[in-house]
Amino acid sequence: MRQLPPGTRALRSFEAAGRHLNFTRAADELGLTPAAVSHQIKEMEEQLGLVLFTRNSRSMQLTPAGSVLLEATAEALGLLRA
């Protein structure tokens, strides 16, 4: 059975995390815990078969695939909000 694409909650978490480059700030914005945001991003990465962020102990960056997805996600969420 084919997996469904990420839901809007996961996409909102990804978009906020991508803008802030920080799960804690994204979680604060969305009213979630940082662990919930991290879990949603991990599930997205598994569903898509892509690494969206590179992480180390003090920072995180979008991968090239993450940058492309962030741009598309921000545009799509903007259209949904309009």
Structural domain harbouring 20: 8-77
* Residue entry with tokens 């180390």: 56
Q: Give this prediction's pTM.
A: 0.89
- State both tokens at 25: 């700030």
Residue 2 lies in a domain: no
Residue range 10-35, pLDDT digits in tens: 999 999 999 999 999 999 999 999 99
pLDDT, position 36: 98
Please give the pLDDT value at position 7: 86
* Residue 48 domain flag: yes
Q: Evaluate whether residue 1 is within a structural domain.
A: no
Number of folded domains in the chain?
A: 1
The reply to whether 52 falls in a domain is yes
How far is residue 29's CA from residue 31's CA, in Å, rounded to a whole number?
6
Residue 3: is its pLDDT beyond 70? Answer: no
Decide which of 17 and 79 is more confident: 17
pLDDT digits (tens, 9 = 90+) for 31-77: 999 999 999 999 999 999 999 999 988 899 999 999 999 999 999 99
Q: Confirm whether 44 is domain-assigned.
A: yes
HEC assignment per residue over the chain: CCCCCCCHHHHHHHHHHHHHCCHHHHHHHHCCCHHHHHHHHHHHHHHHCCCCEEECCCCEEECHHHHHHHHHHHHHHHHHHC
CATH code, domain carrying 32: 1.10.10.10
For residue 1, what pLDDT is reported?
A: 47
